[in-house]
Structure 1
Amino acid sequence: MMRRNRWQLAIILVIVLIGINNTVYYFMAKRSLENGMRHEMLAVAKQIQLSIEQSRLGGEVFQNQIGRELRAVSIAAEYALDPDIDKVTNDQLAELSNKLDVTHISLFRQNSEKDDIIIEKSSDPKELNRGSKTWDPWYDAFQQLLALKPVSVKWGQTLPQFWTGPFESASTDVDKIYKWGYYYDGSTNYLIDPYISNAMMQQYEDATGVNRLIKRAVEENASLLEITAVNPATFSLGGPVLTKNDVGEWVEHITQQPVIYGKYTYQNDGDVKSVEESYRTGRTVTMNTHANGKHVLKTFIPVQIPKGSSILGKEGESLDRYILTIVSDYQFVQDSLDEQFLNIGLIITVITILCMIAVVIVTSYFRRSKDQIAKHAQLTYVDEMNQLLVSVRAQRHDFLNYVQTIHSLAELGKTAELQAYTKELAGDVQLTNDFINIGNPAIAALIRSKFAQAVERKIQFESSFRGLDNLDLGIKSLDLTRIIGNLIDNAFDEVMKYPEERRLIRLEGVLENGELAFVIRNTCDSPETVLSAQQLFDPGYSTKQKDGGHQGLGLPIVKQIVSMYKGTLQVTSDSEECIIFSVRIPHY
C-alpha cells in the first residue's frame, strides 16, 4: 500500500512539474511576443518619423524660396516707387501688387512722436495706420532693418537688408494667414512690406506636405489609427496661444499651435506627461492604454529639428524638437498574440497529455516487472561473481607464467628480449592529437578538416581564434560553419592559381566588444578581382572556370547569412597583394 502511494505521489509530482513548466513557458512566450510587437511598432514609427521630417524640411525649403521671391518683389517695388513715402499713393501700391503678383504691399515709417513703426501706406485699407510696437519679435526685426543691421531674430529667414517670418495669422485680419517680407536698404524713408496669402503654401501642403503624408500613412496601414505632431512647449495648454491686437481682437498664432500636424482625437489623461517626458529626456516613450473607446498603443517620439525653425514655444522662442505621436490599434497586436497563443496552447496540451500517458505506461511497466527485474538482477549478480572467480584464477595462473618468463630472461641476461617482452605485455601507448583549442566544437571540426585539405593541396593555412567560447545560442553553429567554410573554399580556389610558395591563407576569428568578426586574407594578384568585388556577391557570378563545377553561390550564401544576422560583409585589398574578406556580426 505504501509503495502504491509512493508511485501515485511521483505521478502527481511529475504532472505538477509539467504544469509549472508549461505555465512559465506560456507567460514567457506571451511577454516575448508582446515585446516583439512593440519593437515592430517602433520600427514602423521610425519609418513614419523619417518620412514626415523629410516632408517638413521640404516645406521649410519651399517657404525659404517664397522668402527669396518676396525680397525680389521688394527690390522691384523700390525701383517702381518714389523714395519719399509722402509721394506714394495707396492706389499705386494696389496696382503694383497686381503687377508683382502679391496679395498686398504696405510701407512702414518710423514715427518718433508715437515711438512706433507705423503702416502709413498700403494697398489694403485695413492695414493703414496700424502700429507694430506690440508685434514681438517683428518690431525688433523692423528696428534692426531700419538701422541697417543684420536681423538677429533666431527664427525666420534673414537675407541682405531683408527678413521674413513664417506663415502666421494676421493681426489686422485675424481670419487670414499671410507670409510677410520686410526690406530696407537706406535708399528710401520707408520699409517695404510685400506679403502673400497661404494659398500657394496650402497647394504645396495638399500635394506633398506633411498632412497629406500622414493621411496616406494612416489609410495604408490598418493598424495605425492616428499620427500627430505636437508642440511640446504649448501642448499642456490644451488650446492655441492667443494674443489681443490693438483693436481688441484675439489672434491665434499658428507657429505656437499645440497640434502642428495631423489630428488629435485619441486623447488620454497621460498624454501631457508622456509628451513632457519624451521632450525632457529625448527618448521614445510608449504607453499601453485606452483612448477614444479603444485599446491602443501610443508611441511618443522626439524629433530633432534645427534651431531657428518655425515651431515656437510659449514665449516665441524657437524649439529644437517636436514630439511625434503615433497611435496603433492594440487589437491587431492582440489578434496576433491570440493566434500564436492558441497554437502554443495546443502544443502544450498535446505534450502534457503525451507526458502523462508516458508516465502512466512507464510506471505500470516498472510495477509489473519489478519482481522479474529483482530476480534477474540476483541471477546476474551470481553469474558475474562466478565469472569473476574464474577470471581471478586464470589471471593467477597466467601471472605465474609471466613472472617465470621474466625471471628466466633476467637470469639469462637477455636484457633486450626482456625489454621487448615487457613492452609487449604493457601494450603500446596510443598518442592522440591535440584538440584545436577554438572554443566551438563545430568550428574546430571544420578548421581541422580544412587544415587537412590545405596540407593535401600544399597550401600554407594559418588560423587564430579568440573568445569563441563565449558564443551563446544567438547564432547557429551551422550558419557559422557555412560562413567560414565558403570563405575558406573561396580562398583555396584563388591561391591554387599561384606557385606553392605563394599559396598563403590567414584566417582570424574573434568575439569581443559585442561583435563577432571573421577576417580571411589570401594571395591575390588581380586588381580586377577587387574592382568587381560587389559582383562577387551576386548569385551565379563566379571568377572561376565554369567547367570546374563552380556555381557562383559561395559568397552570395555568406552575404545572405550575414545579412540575416544584421551583420556586414566587406572586401578590400592591402599593399601585400592580398584580398581580404571581413565578416562582422553583432553579438550581445
Structure 2
Amino acid sequence: MSIKTKLAWFISLTVIVILSLNLSIYYFSTSSQLQKDAEQQMVSIAKQIGETLDSAQRSKQLIEDSVGEKLRLASISAQSKLDPDINNISNGQLVRLSQELGVDYITLWAKDGDDITAQKSSNAKAIGASSKALGYWYTAFSQLFEMRQVIIPQGQKLNHFWSPPITIIPSDLNDVNKLGFYYNDKTNYLINPIVHAGAFFNLENLKSSDAIAQQIIADNPSILEISGFSPAYYKDPQMVNLKEKAPPYYKLDTQSMIFGRYNYIDVHDYTNLMKADQTGSIVTTKTKIHGHKVLKSFIPMSGTSKSVIVVNINYAAIKQPLYHQLLIQILISLGLIGAAIACSSLIAGFMIRTLEMIMQRVHDISRGNFGEQIVIDSNNEFGALASQVNSMSYNLHSYQAQLTAAAKELLHTKQYLESFVNNTSDAIHVVDLEGRTLDANNAFETMFGWTLAEAVGQKLPMFKPETLDELSEKGKTILNGGQVTDYETVLYRKDGLPVEVSITLSGIRDERGYFVAYASIARDIAERKRTEEIMRRSEKLSVVGQLAAGVAHEVRNPLTTLRGFVQLMQKDSRLDKSYLNIMLSELDRINLIVSEFLVFAKPQADRYQEADLYAIMNDIVVLLDSEANIHNVRMITRLEPGIPPLRCESNQLKQVLVNVMKNGMEAMPGGGELTLELAKESEQSILIRIEDQGVGIPEEDLARLGEPFFTRKAEGNGLGLMISQQIIQHHKGTIQYSSKPGEGTCVEIRIPFL
C-alpha cells in the first residue's frame, strides 16, 4: 500500500474514530440519563404505594387497639364469674359465658409441663393448642403468669393484659379473630376472650396497594411488574401448626410478599433485596427474564410497613427512543465519512510529492550512490528531512570506510585469538549450565582424548562421582559472582586414565547479563607434582638427618642401662625380677623411637584416609622428645581428646608438625617452653597451635615466610615452610604466623573435616 493511500486512510480513519467517539458518548450519556429517568419514575411509584401501605397499617392498628381494650374488660368480667381453678370449669359454662359477654369464644390457657396450652374453650377446635408453636406468644404468656408487665415489642400491653396483633389467620381465610389474654394471679389460668375481626379487618383492604400497582402497570406499558416484600421474613415459613393433626394457620406478621405478583424471578433477587433493606439505598440491576431484558429496582420504604418495593421495567422500551435517534446519527456520520475519504485522498497526493523526491534519493543511497544531493527550497519538515538525508549520505560514506578498516582489524584479532587458543598447551573447553560441552580447543583433545565432534553436546565422564558435589559448589561460587582459580583436582581421559590438573573456572554471560555457560582452563600439573614430591622427600631426608643425632642420643641412654644390668648379671649369676621389668621397659622405649623414626623416614605414596590427630601429635612429641632435651626445651601439650577422625595424609601432616616444632626449638637457643595445642574449633574444622618463646620474627619477614629459599638460618634453605604450606593447602587448610621479636612466634594451622 502506497504512502498516499495510507495517508488518505489515516485521515479518513481519524474522522471515523472521532465520529464513533461522538456516537459512543451520545449513546452512553443518553442511555445513562434514560436509566436515571426510569429509576426516578420507579421511586415515585414506590413512594405512592408505600404511602398507601402506611395509611392502611395505621388504620388497622387503631382498630386493633380499640378492640383490645374491650377484650380486657370482657376478661375482667369473665374472671368474676368463673371458678379460680380451671378443673372446676366446663366447656359448656364457657359457651354460655361467651354469649353473655358478647364475645365469640373464651379459651382458658394453663401451664402444662414446660408448655402453656389451651385446656378449656367454648371452641372445641382450640383445645390442645400449644403456645410454644407461636414463638413470642409463649414469652408473653410466661411474663403474665409471673405477674410481670409484658415487655415484648409485639402486641398491645395493658395492666395484666396482652393482646397480640392479628398475625395468624386460618388457612381457609374464613375465620379471622382478635384475641386478648388476661391474668392477675387470682386464677391458675389465662383468660382468652376472642372476637371475630372480619367486621374491621378485611383482607381486601390490604389489596388496595395491589390495585394501585396494577393501575400503574396499565398506564405505563414499559412497567412489567410491581411487587412489595418484607425483607425480614423473605425466607421464613408462612404457615404454622398450633396443634397436631389440625389445619395450618397463615402467619401475617411474617408474610414475605405484601402485595403484587412475583413472576419475574431472578436468582439474585434475595441478595439485592437484603442489600437495599440494610443500606437504605436503591439497588438497580439488569437481567434477562422470560426473554425480556429487565431493569429491576429494589426501593426500600422507611415508613411503618418497613418494606422493599420491586419495580420491573422492560429495558427495551426505555432504549427504543435512543435507538431511533442513534440510527439518524449513524446515517449522518456515514455521509461525513464519505466526504472525508474523498478530501483526504486529494490532500495526501499534494503532501507526498516532496516526499517522493526524498524517497528516490534514499533509494539511490541504498544502492551505494552517496554523491548526489537533494535540493529543496523549503524550510518545513520536508526541507529538514532532505538536509538530514544529505548528511546521512555523507556520514555513510565515511562510516563505510571506517567499517572496512575495522573489519580488517577484527579479522586480524580473530585470527590471533584462534591461534592462541588452538596452540596453547592448556586445555580450554566451554560447557553449558547442565554440563554439556559447547566448544573445546586442540589442547583439550590432546590432553583428554575426545575430539571436538565427539565432545560437543555431550556430558563427558571426566569427573568421578565423589567429586561432583565439590564441583557443584565451585559452580555456585561462579554463579554468585566469585572466582575459582588454581583449583587442583583429578580429571579422567577418554581411555579412563587420570590427569592431575589445575583448573581456572569463569562464567560466560549473555547480552542480558545472565550466566549461560562455564569456561574452563585446565593445566597439566603432573610434572609440577613430581617436582614437589622430590622437594618434600629432600626436605624430609634433611629433617631425618637432623633427627638422627637426637634419636641416637635417645637410644644410647636405655642401651647404657641395659649394659649395666647385663654386667651385673655376669657378676651375680642372677637378676632380680624388678630389674627384668626395667630392662623390658627400656627395650620397648628403644623400639617405639626407632619405629616412629622409620615410619617418618620411609617414602610413602599419598593416601588420604581417616586418622586420629590426637595420636599423631603424641607420636611426634615422642619422636622429638630427645631433640627437645638437647635444646633444653620443655614441651607442653594441651590436646583435646575425643576429636573426630580427620581424613588426611598422616605422614605429610607429621612432616609439617616436625618442621614447625623444630623451627620453634631452634628459635630458642637458650631453652624455653614449646606449647602444642589441639582443639575442635567448630563443626567444620580443627585448630593446631604451636607457640614458642624464641627470638621472634620481624614484621617485614613474616609476609615472606614460605617463599622458596627464604630463610633466617645460616644453614637453612627455606624449603621446609614452603613444603609445609603446600601440604596444608592440599588438605584445604590454612597456616598463619604471628610473632613479636623477643617474645616468640605462634603458628596456627586450620584443617577442615573433608
**TM-score, normalised by the number of residues in structure 2:** 0.39
> Whose RCO is larger (CA < 8 A, sep 6+)?
1
Greater Rg by CA: 2
